[in-house]
Amino acid sequence: MELLLSEIAKEIRLTTEEEKAVQAAFTHRKIQKRHLLMKAGETFRYIAFVEKGILRSYLPGIKEEEHVIQFAPEGNWIPDSFNLVEDEISRYNIDALENSEVWLIDRESFQELLQAVPRLETYFRVVMQKRLNALHLRVINYLMHFAEDKYKMFVDVYPDIVQRAPQHMIASYLGIKPETLSRNRKKIATRKS
Amino acid sequence: MELLLSEIAKEIRLTTEEEKAVQAAFTHRKIQKRHLLMKAGETFRYIAFVEKGILRSYLPGIKEEEHVIQFAPEGNWIPDSFNLVEDEISRYNIDALENSEVWLIDRESFQELLQAVPRLETYFRVVMQKRLNALHLRVINYLMHFAEDKYKMFVDVYPDIVQRAPQHMIASYLGIKPETLSRNRKKIATRKS
DNA sequence: CGGTCTCTTGACGGAGTTCAAAGCTAGTGG
DNA sequence: CCACTAGCTTTGAACTCCGTCAAGAGACCG
């Protein structure tokens, strides 16, 4: 819980009472590497704060072609759409890339918590603002013409994820094929020496 | 102001007092077709609610290649990153595709308004949540392989914008060339008959 | 009716995809 | 502790859609 509370503390100051309310609203969960936290089509909907490890959301895709939507290392929320209202059912799968720990909250608890601690609205608004910026960055990334540039920008912005996620997932995230990414990485490497 | 207030009313109920505070925080502005509301590099930063018409934000781009980031018809906020905090200077240009009217608010007024009417946090959180969903949809669009599919998805989601924005801007938004869009539209049309 | 902006059409070249197979690497179980 | 397997990455060759360059046809506005 430490990480979540410290993240909140960056935006707003909570009383110990309020901190307790926050703690009570979430449930802890460990997820083993490669295991699912959430499955597309499920009706039970919640959002997760990643306390340890790294998760990822993706669209299952028809003919076995997954589309990676988000990587969420420690300190991030997933799914970052915070979509607890619009759809009853999840559109994404969410699984863990490493053994991870998360704090879960479902829709009802989320609404109740916001009622109990209204100043959390500010925290969530700021979090969403940051995510909107991150997504804008991603859109700009897609508007780049060459796959090589897309990858280089990704490395710049998320050097940590490059280390922790397999290449074919990064390729999927960037909208290119694993083979193409492999070839471009080679090009970049040979050019440097 | 009617549209803005009715949009807010969808999420939270304001007293007439509070409505007055909202009205006082915004300034009205008309923008002629093709005129700029905001210029990349400017230091004065605000967000706009589109009351009438349609605006668009875009990255000027080095060699005269604009990248369209957002279309904002009536009822929408622009820029949708709500980026009043992170950067002091704007990264985008914003102009009008039709003669339009907007409500402007700058950073200070925005913070003050949220202090004065804290329940607006809820409204903005919900608005951002919706934008996050919309951006996710856009990301999925980029992950599609064929330009034709990207365009078809765009038409499905934003049939109104297809009518109101010139084709080369839609092409830019989709990350494809105007020529390619033109050819694909032709393909789609001939296939239907 | 001229000028500018926008859309269309053609030909060529190239980056990325597809299909296929071989090399690696890490995790499992004997 | 090694052997084996499954998943991941690399490499090659053929193909294709998109981008580029260029020119012409519309459409809109003063």
Strand order across the beta sheet in which B77-78 lies: B27-31, B100-106, B46-52, B77-78
Closest residue (Cα, C1') to D7: A166
Helices within A98-158 (DSSP H only): 107-116, 120-142, 147-157
Between CA B94 and CA B102 the distance in angstroms is: 12
Q: B2-116 has which CATH code?
A: 2.60.120.10
Per domain, the residue ranges of chain A are: 2-117
Contact indicator for B98, B192 with CB cutoff of 8 Å: no
Say what the pLDDT of residue B190 is. 86
Q: Is the CB of B183 under 7 A from strand C?
A: yes
Please name the nucleotide lying closest to B180, CA to C1': D18
**Report for A152-156, B60-64, B82-86: range of highest mean pLDDT:** A152-156
Tell me the per-residue pLDDT of B137-183, one tens digit each, with 9 for 90 and over: 999 999 999 999 999 999 999 999 999 999 999 999 999 999 999 99
Residue B20 touches partner A, C-beta closer than 8 Å: no
Query: Between the CA of A142 and the C1' of C24, what is the distance in angstroms?
Result: 31
* pLDDT above 70 as % of chain B: 94
Q: Are B63 and B17 in contact (CB under 8 A)?
A: no
Average pLDDT value for chain B = 91
**pLDDT for residue A82:** 82
Say if residue A120's pLDDT is above 80.
yes
Least Cα distance to A110 among A83, A72, A74 occurs for A83
The pLDDT assigned to A193 comes to 66
What is d(CA B151, CA B169) in angstroms, rounded to the nearest whole number?
12
CATH superfamily of A2-117: Jelly Rolls (2.60.120.10)
Structure confidence at residue A42 (pLDDT): 82
Q: What is the pLDDT of residues B9-34, one digit of tens each?
A: 999 999 999 999 999 999 999 999 99
Please report residues of A whose CB lies closer than 8 A to that of B76: none
Identify protein residues whose C-beta is within 7 angstroms of any atom in strand D: A 145, 166-168, 178-179, 181-183, 185-186; B 146-148, 175-177, 179-180, 184
Does any strand C atom come closer than 7 Å to the Cβ of B168?
Answer: yes
Q: Residue B157: its pLDDT value, please? A: 96
- Mean pLDDT for A171-187 is 96
pLDDT number for residue B74: 96
Q: How far is A190 from chain B (nearest CA, A)?
A: 28
* Contact between chains at A135 and B135 (C-beta distance less than 8 A): yes
Which of B86, B129, B150, B172 is the best substitution to test chain A (most A C-beta atoms within 10 A)? B129
Q: C-alpha B93: how far from its chain's center? A: 12
Packing angle between helix B16-25 and helix B2-9, nearest 10 degrees?
130
Element (H, E) at A66: none
In the predicted structure, residue A49 carries a pLDDT above the cut 90: yes
Fill in the DSSP letter of residue A81: T
